[in-house]
Chain A
Amino acid sequence: MPSITYISNSGESRTVTVDSGVTIMQAAVRNGVPGIVADCGGECQCATCHVYVDGKFLGLLKPAAEDEDAMLSLTASERKDNSRLSCQIVLTDKLDGIVVTTPAIQQ
């Protein structure tokens, strides 16, 4: 059961624990964590589930696939080197403790 911490743009933090196999977007949405919109429900079509991944964990993630990379150019907040779409990151025990920051705006 990996746990994940979301830090909002204003610095508030929320930690939730979910089953492996759930995406970072789903974990937020199901637990009422604000800051992730997810218009398209995880289809990699909307870029409203943008997060910044803490540097320590970035290397543990599979690199963004072509569609995620393309969609990241449509984010409403600035795209940075650690920008990812949270609907494309599946949580596993390996990612236990991961920290992401949600951007100021998603749309």
Chain B
Amino acid sequence: MDCGVVIVGAGQAGFQTALSLRNEGYAGKIALIDDEGRVPYARPPLSKAYLKGTATAESLEYRPAEFFVQQAIDLVLDNPAVALDREKRTVALRSGRELEWSSLVLATGAHVRRLPSTGPEPFYLRTFADSDGLRNHLAGADSLLAIGCGFIGLEAAAAARAQGKRVRVIGAEGRLMGRAVSPFISAWFQAMHEKHGVEIRLNTAVRRVSESSAELPDGTTLAADAVVVGIGVIPNTALAAAAGLAISAGILTDSWLKTSDPAIFAVGDCAAHPNVYAGGLARIESVQNAADHARAVAATIAGKPKEYHQVPWFWTEQFEAKLQIAGLAVETDETEVRGDPDSGKFSVYNYKDGKLKFVESVNQPAAHIAARKLLEI
């Protein structure tokens, strides 16, 4: 008997799994378990339009609450899954409610890495509540200190600078967005931020923070009206680990996104999956990864097995620059720049052994789209 599908986590991947199951014609029961107490919403605007004040809370919601009722998706809000029983195929929620499943999808995402704090906590940016808190606080602040020179820190810096705040970015690494872009793009974005008046300090590992300060390795302390920390995330694997599922950099899956238990799938930020573009196991934090994982798993559960192999893509917006990345920033040995970087419209093609690996386009959407097609394996 089909006891239906339980999806743990109602973020991008969990929501998309439920939606795609119905689109695939799956008629069984679907339960979508949330722990934030909000109808599923998109995170990218949290460090962009929502933070700047140009998007409303409602515009972030993927669908209104009634949609879930219409689609017979049991959206269980503010009631986290606390334990899995793989033998009985049940999941227990905090409230004590127990749900049976025939297929279980873990879409638990990730939580922010924190810095030790010396007082009241600084802001982090993962949830709607985080972004809303920072947005309100920034309204009455003159300065922002962003710790972390990845996408989140830089997007928050750009959003605050655009509102006229004094902004400083402190990064532990030697270049901006080092894990995800080429050195050329790091340098170009650094120059752009500096041109806009953002002060950037690299190779500086902050030791401790508070809501209004950061302590540097040399003992000096920097102060600001607001402090936001974006130093990466840790996948939510505890539930899976406690149930004895294999874990590596995330919940371990095969290329069908099945975990070490074939009735349990893992999708999105929490899943360490074989990725042809990475040339091995990868755990990827992006909308593309979450949505395409979800679609593959939904098709498989609906009886149309689908292996995951989509081209990774990503975007970020900082000031007037929209950067789109096709492929994954793996190690390369040759770089070709097309277009004029000074014009603010150009693309960087990155090769390894003569093969195109990833393409970074700044304000050149057509080049990005062409690259997504070019890179298809």
Select the stretch in A6-14, A52-60, A65-73, A91-99 that faces chain B: A65-73
Q: Does A16 contact B (CB under 8 A)?
A: no
User: Are A43 and B63 CB-contacts (below 8 A) given A66-B365, A70-B368, A74-B369?
Assistant: no
What residues of A have a CB within 8 angstroms of the CB of B291 in the complex? 39, 46
Question: By the criterion CB–CB under 8 Å, are A69 and B64 in contact?
Answer: no
What residues of B have a CB within 8 angstroms of the CB of A107 in the complex? 295
* Interface size, A (range): 20 to 34
Question: By the criterion CB–CB under 8 Å, are B315 and A45 in contact?
Answer: yes
Of B295, B315, B366, which contacts A43 at CB under 8 A? B315
A39-B291, A69-B365 known, 9 other contacts, Cβ within 8 Å: A29-B64, A30-B58, A32-B67, A40-B42, A43-B315, A45-B315, A70-B369, A73-B369, A107-B295
Question: By the criterion CB–CB under 8 Å, are B366 and A70 in contact?
Answer: yes
Can you name 20 A-B residue pairings with CB atoms under 8 Å? A26-B59, A29-B64, A29-B67, A30-B58, A30-B63, A32-B64, A37-B19, A40-B287, A41-B42, A42-B59, A45-B287, A45-B313, A46-B291, A67-B322, A67-B365, A70-B368, A71-B365, A73-B366, A73-B369, A74-B369
What residues of A have a CB within 8 angstroms of the CB of B365 in the complex? 44, 66-67, 69-71
> Which residues in B have some Cβ–Cβ distance to A below 8 Å?
16, 19, 23, 42, 44-45, 58-60, 62-64, 66-67, 70, 287, 291, 295, 313, 315, 322, 324, 365-366, 368-369, 372
Per-residue 0/1 for A11-41: is the Cβ within 8 Å of any B Cβ (1 yes, 0 no)?
Answer: 0000000000000001001101000011111
What residues of A have a CB within 8 angstroms of the CB of B66 in the complex? 32
- Bound Cα distance A44, B315 (Å): 10
- Bound Cα distance A90, B70 (Å): 26
> Which residues in A have some Cβ–Cβ distance to B below 8 Å?
26, 29-30, 32, 37-46, 66-67, 69-71, 73-74, 107
- Bound Cα distance A40, B45 (Å): 10
- Bound Cα distance A38, B16 (Å): 10
Question: By the criterion CB–CB under 8 Å, are B16 and A41 in contact?
Answer: no
- Bound Cα distance A46, B42 (Å): 14
Of B42, B44, B63, B366, which contacts A66 at CB under 8 A? B366
> For residue A48, which residue of chain B has the nearest CB?
B291
What residues of B have a CB within 8 angstroms of the CB of A42 in the complex? 59
- Bound Cα distance A74, B322 (Å): 19
- A-B pairs, top 9 by smallest CB distance, nearest first, are A70-B365, A41-B42, A67-B365, A70-B366, A70-B369, A39-B291, A32-B67, A30-B64, A32-B70
In whole Å, how far is B293's beta carbon from the nearest beta carbon of chain A?
A: 12
In whole Å, how far is A7's beta carbon from the nearest beta carbon of chain B?
A: 19
Question: By the criterion CB–CB under 8 Å, are A39 and B369 in contact?
Answer: no
Question: By the criterion CB–CB under 8 Å, are B369 and A41 in contact?
Answer: no
Question: By the criterion CB–CB under 8 Å, are B287 and A39 in contact?
Answer: yes
